[in-house]
Each structure stands twice: as structure tokens, then as C-alpha cells.
Amino acid sequence: MTKRIVVVASGRGSNFQAIIGALQRGSILAECVALVTDNPKAYAIERAEAAGIPVVVVDYASFATRELYEQALLAALKKARPDLVILAGYMRILGLAIVREYAGRMINIHPALLPSFTGLHAQRQALLHGVKLTGCTVHFVDESLDGGPIILQRCVRVMDDDDEDTLANRILIQEHLALPEAVRLFCEDRLSIEGRKVRTR
């Protein structure tokens, strides 16, 4: 049965666009039933509209408390009835109620080789630590910060003259390959979580 996927994004949505492209090529056998965003000015909205994907805006700024925002976000996700929730540049830490609701059915893309350099500014952290290799990680979301079981990773060499922008741009190229691949594997029922490990069948 065709999987229903929902993408959650806060900004320009380039990883979202990579998923759209994979869907249009038929390499991911799924239907994107919604883009959910916390930012009514996100460029990802234009990408969704161009692809005919419904947009749900849950504007963080319009809620008096984070708890109320989280309740509205969870309600929006439930209404879309997703088999998989994809965080593609979502810039907030999700509350426990949402994480637990979609345990094993929510994935995130992070611009580092986890468990190194969690949280914000991963590229800056990589440069400050002087690592020679970094990259990106697609992982299942759990109650930790960027600590869920790892689905796949792709490596990027750090150049001596790199700054945050040049490194981020090269990592992003790999993100655009890694995230659709992880989504494809999920939608083909080829992933299983065994403790800390994700097995691919």
C-alpha cells in the first residue's frame, strides 16, 4: 500500500524539494499528503504549491505558549494521517508528545556525522574541532537531541579553506541524496530498528 508522508520544514525547503523530485521520478513510492510549517514565510510553501502538495501553517508566533503550539502541531499531523513524518530543516526541538506519537515513524536529516556535533551550527562545530571528515546523517527521531537510531550517513571531506557556507553547501548536496534514499527505504518497508541499530533489508 502506498505510504502517506508528511514533510515538516521551517525554511527554504531544499531537502523537501529533493523529496518532491524523487516522488515525481517515481523513485519513492509514496504520496506527500502535506507540508507542515511553523513559518508562514517559509520558501518551502512555494515549493509545495508548485508541486500541488497541501500546505498547513502552524505559525509558532501566533501561540501564547510552546505547549499550545505543540498541541496544534500534533493535531495538524494527526489530521494528515501520515505513515512517515519527515523533518527537513525543521528548526525547533519537538515535544515529547509528538516524538512518542510517531516513534519509529519520524526521521530527521542533520548536517553532521552523528553522534558528533549535535544541535545547531553543526558545520561551525566541525570547523572549530578541525575534523577532516564530516557529512550528514538521517536518523529516526527519539527523545534525545539528534540521538535517535541512525539510518544512513554520507561523508564530506573538510577542506583547509572551508568556511561555514562552503562546507554547508557541500554537505547539502549529500543531504539531497541521503534523505530521499532513507525515505525510499522506509516506504519499501526495508528498515527495522533493533536497539541502537537500524537494519536494512
Domain carrying residue 138: 3-200
Cα separation, 57 vs 11, in Å, equals 12
Residue 103, domain CATH: 3.40.50.170
Closest residue by Cα to residue 42 from 12, 8, 19:
12
The pTM (predicted TM-score) of the whole model is: 0.97
pLDDT at 110: 97
Could you give phi then psi for residue 34, rounded to 5 degrees?
A: -170, 150
Does a cis peptide bond (omega within 30 degrees of 0) precede residue 115? yes
Q: What pLDDT, on a 0 to 100 scale, did the predictor assign at position 95?
A: 93
- Quote the CA–CA distance of 69 and 62 in Å, as a whole number: 8
* pLDDT category of residue 128 using cuts at 50, 70 and 90: very high
Residue 138, phi then psi, degrees to nearest 5: -105, 125
H-type helices in the chain, by residue range? 14-25, 44-51, 66-80, 96-101, 122-129, 164-187
Percentage, residues of the chain above pLDDT 90: 99
State residue 177's pLDDT score.
98
Catalytic residue among 110, 121, 129, 176: 110
Q: Write out the three cell numbers for 152.
A: 544512513
Taking the C-alpha atoms of residue 71 and residue 149, their distance in angstroms, rounded to an integer, is 26
Half-sphere exposure of 7 (CA within 13 A, CB side): 30
176 is an active site residue: no
Q: How high is the pLDDT of residue 118?
A: 96
On the CB side of 187, CA atoms within 13 Å amount to 25
What type of residue sits at position 108? N
pLDDT of residue 106: 98
What local confidence, expressed as pLDDT, does residue 141 receive? 98
Number of compact structural domains in the chain: 1
Segment 15-73, tens digit of pLDDT: 999 999 999 999 999 999 999 999 999 999 999 999 999 999 999 999 999 999 999 99
Arithmetic mean of pLDDT, 171-198: 97
Three-state DSSP state, 119: coil
pLDDT band of residue 154 (cuts 50, 70, 90) is very high
pLDDT at 1: 82
